[in-house]
């Protein structure tokens, strides 16, 4: 599942992503490929390059992403992004991917020049659209009716809340925890079909 902006809000600006100690799921909301060598970590008092953050045990050395591009289901698997010296699957953060990052302490991840949406923007979940591999486009309710996505509980969309240490829901249902989505966050959607793209329309 990919989440894309149809219209990038700001180009060339840096983005700061809040990290908590433990696993963090980041939705990479930019059309700029960014090398990990350019990423910085700030823990509230000191700023570290990616290499220095690793050397000082601030975070794990690589980020994991799920590669669903293979036409063969058994070949779809998690791959890894790291600096070139670690010889992983990739060295760049790329558009529309979700990345798991393990941080040993709270802080901010700074992504210079990536543009994309401002981190304090919100977006109504009900305005999201799905596009399948053939180019057909549907609203969330249409995608559910046509069995593209699966609904569990009160929502189609979930996120991990580090404060409550539990999954929370995003929808307009009265019992939902939130009715908005935030750029650069990671969201979970159960998809019944392959090659769906989740589109944010401005």
Helix (H), strand (E), coil (C) string for the chain = CEEEECCCCECCCCEEEEECCEEEEEECCCCCCEEHHHCEEECCCCEEEHHHHHHCCCECCCEEEEECCCCCHHHCEEEEECCHHHCCCECEECCCCEEEEEECCCEEEEECCCCECCCCCCEEHHHCEEECCCCCEEEHHHHHHCCCEECECCECEEEEECCCCEEEEECCCCCCCECEECCCECCEEEECCCCCEEEECC
Taking 60 as the threshold, does the pLDDT of residue 6 lie above it?
Answer: no
What number is the average pLDDT over the span 17-23? 85
Taking 70 as the threshold, does the pLDDT of residue 26 lie above it?
Answer: yes
Structure tokens at 143: 């995608």
What number is the average pLDDT over the span 37-53? 92
Model confidence pLDDT, tens digit, residues 98-146 = 899 999 999 988 888 776 555 566 777 777 888 887 888 888 888 888 8
Comparing 62-66, 110-114, 169-173, the range with the smallest average pLDDT is 169-173
What pLDDT band is residue 16 in, cutting at 50, 70 and 90? confident
Average pLDDT, the chain: 79
Model confidence pLDDT, tens digit, residues 70-95 = 777 777 888 999 888 888 899 899 88
What pLDDT, on a 0 to 100 scale, did the predictor assign at position 11? 52
For the question of whether the overall pTM of this predicted structure is more than 0.85, the answer is no
Q: Does domain 10-111 have CATH number 1.10.1610?
A: no
What pLDDT, on a 0 to 100 scale, did the predictor assign at position 9? 45
What number is the average pLDDT over the span 57-62? 91
What pLDDT, on a 0 to 100 scale, did the predictor assign at position 123? 75
What pLDDT band is residue 174 in, cutting at 50, 70 and 90? low
What pLDDT, on a 0 to 100 scale, did the predictor assign at position 102? 92
Indicate where the chain has its CATH 2.60.120 domain(s).
Answer: 10-111
């Amino acid at each position: 599942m990919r989440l894309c902006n149809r219209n990038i809000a700001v180009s060339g600006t840096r983005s700061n992503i809040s990290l908590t100690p433990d696993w963090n799921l980041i939705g990479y909301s930019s059309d700029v490929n960014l090398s990990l060598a350019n990423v910085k970590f700030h823990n509230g008092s000191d700023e570290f390059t990616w290499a220095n953050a690793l050397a000082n045990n601030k975070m794990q050395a690589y980020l994991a992403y799920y590669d669903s591009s293979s036409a063969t289901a058994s070949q779809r698997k998690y791959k890894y992004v790291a600096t070139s010296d670690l010889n992983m699957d990739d060295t760049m953060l790329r558009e529309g991917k979700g990345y798991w990052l393990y941080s040993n302490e709270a802080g901010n991840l700074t992504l210079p020049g990536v543009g994309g949406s401002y981190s304090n923007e919100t977006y109504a979940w009900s305005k999201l659209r799905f596009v399948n591999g053939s180019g057909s486009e549907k609203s969330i309710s249409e995608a559910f009716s046509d069995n593209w996505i699966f609904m569990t509980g009160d929502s189609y969309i979930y996120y991990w809340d580090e404060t409550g240490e539990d999954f929370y829901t995003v929808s307009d249902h009265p019992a939902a925890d939130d009715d908005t989505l935030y750029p650069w966050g990671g969201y979970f959607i159960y998809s019944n079909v392959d090659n769906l793209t989740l589109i944010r329309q401005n």
